[in-house]
Structure 1
C-alpha cells in the first residue's frame, strides 16, 4: 500500500474530499517527513510545525471543502512574506525579520485552502540560479546530495522531489521555477506574464518575475496552477490581443485530457549565443532527442529552428540583473552581511546610469516583440531544459561576479529570454542518465498559451513513461 507522500497531489485531494484522510493527518505526515529527511536536503529554512497543525485544524473545521486546494500542504518560498513568520529572503542581513503583513500570493494560497508548513530555501534575494545561501547552507539535490537543486526556487523543488511536499509554489524571474524543477526531475511551469494574480510580474523590473507551480507530474502542476489563479482570477489588465483565444482555464482539464496535435519548432540556439560559448552536454541533447521522437510518434509536426542572432541581449539583460539588486534595502555597515555576489550586483546596479537602464528596458521590450513574431508560426517551441547535468555544490564562483554570471548562462541558456518575452514555458523530465540524474526539456508557448503547453507536456510525459517517484533513498 502506498504511503500518503507517494500519492499525487490530486489523489491526496480526492482522499481529503472523501474523508479518507484529513488536513490534520496529512499535515502531520509531511511534518514528520520533513523532520526526518530535510536535514540531509536543506529544502526548508523554517518549519512552522505548530502553526501548520493549527492551520490544518482551521481548514478542517471552517474552510469549505470546495476550496480548490483544501487541506493540501504547501510552503512559502522565503522571498514571500507571511505575517508572523520569519522571512529572511535568503540573506544574513534579514536574520530575525518577522513581517506584519502577508504578500498577495500567500493570501491567495490560504484562500485556496492550502496549509503552509513553513518557508523553503532560496539564494540571497533570489538573484542566482542556484541555492547555496550562506544564511542557511546549500540546498541539495535529492537524487544526488553532492549536487545542487538549482535555483532560485531550489528549496521548493528539493522539497517536492524528496516527498516533503506534494507540490510547491516558486517564482521565476530568469528560470527560477524551471531550472530547479529540471534539476530535481520535476515539472515546472512559468506562466505568461499577468496570468497569476499574486505573482503576475506586471510590477517587477522588465516584467520578469512571475509565480508558478512545481510538481511531480503535469497534472499536479496544472492542479496547483488552477489553485493559484482561482481566488481572484486573471487580472483584467492583461486581457490583451496577443493572448491565445480559449486559454482562460481551468487548466487541469488540459493536462488530464492531453489532447491536440501541434506544430513545434525545435532549437538548441538561444539569445546568449553571441555572448559566450554555449556547450550542450550529451545528456541534455539526449533528452531533446527523446522528447522530439516521442512527440513525433504522437503525431505532432516538428521543424528545426535557429533563433535570430541577438548580440544586444546580453548587455541589456545584464543591466537589468544588476539594476534589480540596486533596490535591496541594505545600506552602510549592513552591506557587509551580504554575500560577495550580492554585494557585487548591488554595487554595479547602483552605478547603472538612468539612461543605460532606460535604453536596456526599451531594447528588451523590442526584443520581446521580435521573438514573439519569430516564434509565431509554431504552437510551441522545444528546447533542452538545461545545457548541463545538475551542478555540484560549490561549482559556482561566488567571489567573481563576471565568472559567476558566465557560469549561470552556460548552465541555463534557455530560460531568461522566455521571461523577457513574457511567454509561458514548462519543463518536463523525460529520462535519467546512467548515474540516475533526471534530464528534461522545455516547451515554450504562445502568449497566454498555457493550455496548449499543459496538453503537450502531458502527452510527452505519457509517451516517455518516466516513472513519477521519489529518489530510492527516501
Structure 2
C-alpha cells in the first residue's frame, strides 16, 4: 500500500516504531505534490529541500520523543497561507501587494514544529481568507475541488482541504472565523473541527484541524494544543474512544441569516441530513427538534464585525482598486463605520451568543447541515459586487458563522454523497455542535457516525 493511502494515525505509529522514516514519508508526499499540485493548486509554495533537511534533523535525534510531547513527530503538513513561517512569503491569497517574507513563525507554526511536524510549504487561500470559496487571482491558480475540478472546494482553508482530500498531505491545520474549516471540509469530504474559542481570544477566528478521519483530527488537535489554550490531559486522541453513551441531541436547519436572506437546503442535502438523523436515532441517541428564536439583528451585526476587522488591513484607500470586490466592499464599509456602530454591533453579538448558549445548553450536541448545497461550480459567487458576493456566501453556508460568534466547538462530518446527472460523486456533511470545551463528546459522536458510514476510506476517484 502507498504511504498516502494510510491515515495520519497509522503513519505516526509506523514512524514511532521505526518501520518508516521521516525522510521516506516526506519524500513520498513531495512526489505527490509534484504530480498533483499543477492540477489542483492546493499549495502556493513548497520547499522540498527545507522539508528534507528538517526530516534528516529529526532522524538524527538520539531518541524519539514521547507521543505526549511530540504527537506529530515526522508527519508532513503545510501552513495555511495566512500563517507566518520564517523564510516563507505569506501571500494572504492576494495579488494586490507583494507578499512579505516572514522573519519569524507565528505561534501556531511554532506549535506544529514543537509537536514534531514537518512543514512542506503553504496552502492556498482566497484573498485575505475573507470568503467561504477558494477563488483568488494568484498567478499559480486557486485551489480546485478534487472530487470535480470544475467545482469550488470551499474556503477559506481551501488548499488545506484539497491537499488532504487528494492525499497530498496526511492532515493540515487551518483557521475558522466564519466556517473556514467546516465549509471546505464539507465540500471536500473531510472531517473539519473548529474548536472552542479560547477565553483569551476576543475575535471570531480560531485555529483548527482538517483530516480524513476523526482520529486524525484528534491527533492534530493534540499537536496544536499548546497554542490553543486547550487541555491535553487526557489527549483528545486518547479520549475519542469509546463511543458515547446515548446522548441528548437537538437538531435543526435554523439559521440567524434567515431573517435577512432566503435560506433553504437543496433536496439532496436535506435527504442526507434526514438519513443522518435516522442513523443517530438507530445508534440509540435521543433526538429533539430545537429551533432558537429568530434574531433579526444578527446579520447586520455580524457584517459590521467583519467590516471592522477588514478596515484594519494596511491598505491605503488609494490602492483599494488593486484588490477584489469583496475586499473593497468590506474595507470601505469598515472605514465608514462610527465607533458607536461597532460598539452596538458587538453588544448585539454578545446578546445573541447568550441566547444561543442558553438554547443549546440542555443538549449534549446539536445537529445541523453545514452547507445548503453540494460544492458549487467555479464562478458561482459574484466577482464584481462585494455586497452581493457576501450575501451569496451567507446563503451557501448559513449554519457556520453564528457558532464563531458563540465560541462553541463544531465539527463537519461527511455522511453521504450526491451523484450528479453526469455521474460525479460529491460529498455532503452534517455539523455537530457542542458545549464549550465539549470536543471529547463531539468527536466521540463523530467517530460513531464515521464508523457507521465508513466514509474515512472514500477518496476522490481521480486522485487516489
Query: Does TM, normalized by the shorter one, top 0.5?
Result: yes
Q: Map of 1:289-328 to 2, 5 A cutoff? A: 289-328=274-313
The answer for the alignment partner of 1:243 in structure 2 is none
Q: Are residue 436 (structure 1) and residue 425 (structure 2) matched?
A: yes
SS of structure 2 residue aligned to 1:433 = strand
- Within 2, Cα distance between the matches of 1:344 and 1:96? 22
Taking the aligned partners of 2:89 and 2:50, their CA distance within structure 1 comes to 13
Does 2:362 match 1:373? Answer: no
Q: Shift of the alpha carbon at 1:337?
A: 2.4
Matched-pair contact (CA < 8 Å) for 1:183–1:389: yes
Give the alignment of 1:171-186 within 5 angstroms.
Answer: 171-186=175-190
Q: 2:116 aligns with which of 113, 132, 144?
A: 113
* Aligned mates of 1:83, 1:54 — CA distance in 2: 15
For residues 378 and 239 of structure 2, what CA distance do their matches in structure 1 show? 37
Distance 2:58 2:276 in 1: 41
Offset at 1:15? 0.7
Q: Distance in 2 between matches of 1:34 and 1:148?
A: 19
- After TM superposition, list the pairs within 5 Å mapping 1:190-201 onto structure 2: 190-194=194-198
**Aligned twin of 1:154:** 158
Displacement of 1:290: 1.7
Equivalents in 1 of 2:279, 2:245: separation in Å? 15
SS at match of 1:315: helix
Matched, 1:127 2:130: yes
- Structure-1-length-normalised TM-score: 0.93
The corresponding residue for 1:23 is 22
What SS is found at the alignment partner of 2:151? strand
Please give the alpha-carbon distance, in whole angstroms, between the structure 2 residues aligned to 1:276 and 1:99: 40
1:422 aligns with 2:418: no
Once the two structures are overlaid, the 10-residue window that deviates more, 386-395 or 282-291, is 282-291
Counterpart Cα distance in 1 of 2:165 and 2:246: 31
Partner of residue 11, structure 1: 10
CA drift of 1:465 comes to 2.4
Q: How does 1:438-457 map to 2 (within 5 A)?
A: 438-457=427-446
Whole-angstrom CA distance in 1 between matches of 2:319 and 2:228: 40
Q: Is the 8 A contact 1:93 1:330 kept in 2?
A: no
State the Cα distance separating 1:203 from its structure 2 match.
4.0
1:386 is aligned to 2:374: no
Q: Does 1:168 align with 2:168?
A: no
| Residues 414-423 or 43-52, more deviating | 43-52
> Matches of residues 122-271 of structure 1 in structure 2 within 5 Å?
122-135=125-138, 136-194=140-198, 202-204=200-202, 207-229=203-225, 231=226, 234=229, 249-271=234-256
Superposition deviation, residue 36 in structure 1: 0.3
How many matched pairs? 454
Runs of 4+ off more than 6 Å:
none
User: For 2:96, what is the secondary structure of its paired residue?
Assistant: helix
Structure 1 residue aligned with 2:92: 89
2:456 matched to 1:471?
no
CA distance in 1, matches of 2:324, 2:91: 14
Distance apart, 1:330 and its partner CA: 1.6
Query: 1:197: which partner in 2?
Result: none
**CA 1:461–1:405 in 2, change beyond 3 Å: closer, same or farther?**
same
Residues 363-421 of structure 1: per-residue CA shift (max 9 Å, x gap): 10111111100111111000011111101111100211121111101100000000000
Deviation at 1:462, TM superposition (A): 1.0
Answer whether contact 1:77 1:121 (CA < 8 A) is retained.
Answer: yes
Deviations 1:249-283 (A, max 9, x none): 41112324223221100101111110111021012
Separation (CA, whole Å) in 2 of partners of 1:350 and 1:330:
11
Is the Cα contact below 8 Å between 2:328 and 2:386 reproduced in 1? no
**Separation in structure 2 between the aligned mates of residue 411 and residue 249 of structure 1, nearest angstrom:** 37
TM-aligned CA deviation for residue 338 of structure 1: 1.5
**Conserved in 2, the CA contact under 8 Å of 1:151 and 1:176?**
yes
Q: Counterpart of 1:386 in 2: which secondary structure?
A: coil
Distance 2:317 2:335 in 1: 14
Once residues 255 and 281 of structure 1 are traced to their aligned partners in structure 2, the CA distance between those partners, rounded to angstroms, is 32
